[in-house]
Amino acid sequence: MKKNKPKYKQIIDAAVEVIAENGYHSSQVSKIAKKAGVADGTIYLYFKNKEDILVSLFQEKMGQFIEKIEHETNSRQTAEEKLFKLVETHFEQLSADHHLAIVTQLELRQSNKDLRQKINHVLKRYLNVMDMIIDEGVEEGLFRESLDRRLVRQMIFGTLDETVTNWVMKDQRYNIVDQAKEVHSLIVHGLARSGQ
């Protein structure tokens, strides 16, 4: 299995850096190879082309990202605790890897429709975690029964996504993890005054 080979990981990590620093369109395979410390031809033993590198990078990094979120949310009791952990872990992981944050928030947005569909396929697992938390929240009486689950999931993901994009656009000048509590509160309580 190629994915278990050290060079595969080296190339993926190099691609994250090169794409973050140069943009996807200006990131030649030769630049990625140089950063990874491998010959240009070696890359083609692992990947078909540059687009395949981007998709593989997303599958690999997001797979790890989602695994961590699944682990963290499963170790919490209530839907409210799970949702907070999801928000916090989402922010923590992207703030710990600035290059990956740039790639996921900016570079992947500029990709073509076919590429976006492959990326959305990876995100399904993450959206399933959100669905489970929403369902638990309804069962516990934290959320109202009449919620449109799809809309709520889009709203949660969209909120997290936009918060990270804004942080990336502001050159990561502040600690995004500090916003987890406020974002969580907005999702759970909306804009209502407390006690309403």
37-70 residue pLDDT tens: 999 999 999 999 998 999 899 999 999 999 999 9
| Residues whose CB falls within 8 Å of the CB of residue 48, separated by 6 or more in sequence, listed in order | none
Residues 15-34: pLDDT tens digits?
999 999 999 999 999 999 99
pTM of the model: 0.90
Mean pLDDT, the chain, whole residue set? 92
pLDDT (0 to 100) of residue 194: 67
CB contact at 8 A, 89 and 69: yes
Residue 73 token pair: 């949310």
Kindly state the DSSP code that residue 28 receives in the 8-state scheme: -
| Residues whose CB falls within 8 Å of the CB of residue 169, separated by 6 or more in sequence, listed in order | none
Residues 103-148: pLDDT tens digits?
999 888 776 788 778 888 888 999 999 999 999 999 999 999 999 9
CATH class of 51-189: mainly alpha
Residues 140-167: pLDDT tens digits?
999 999 999 999 999 999 999 999 999 9
- Cα distance between residue 11 and residue 46, in whole Å: 9
Phi, psi of 112 (to 5 degrees): -75, 170
Q: Where are the domains of the chain?
A: 51-189
| Residues whose CB falls within 8 Å of the CB of residue 137, separated by 6 or more in sequence, listed in order | 79, 80, 83, 143
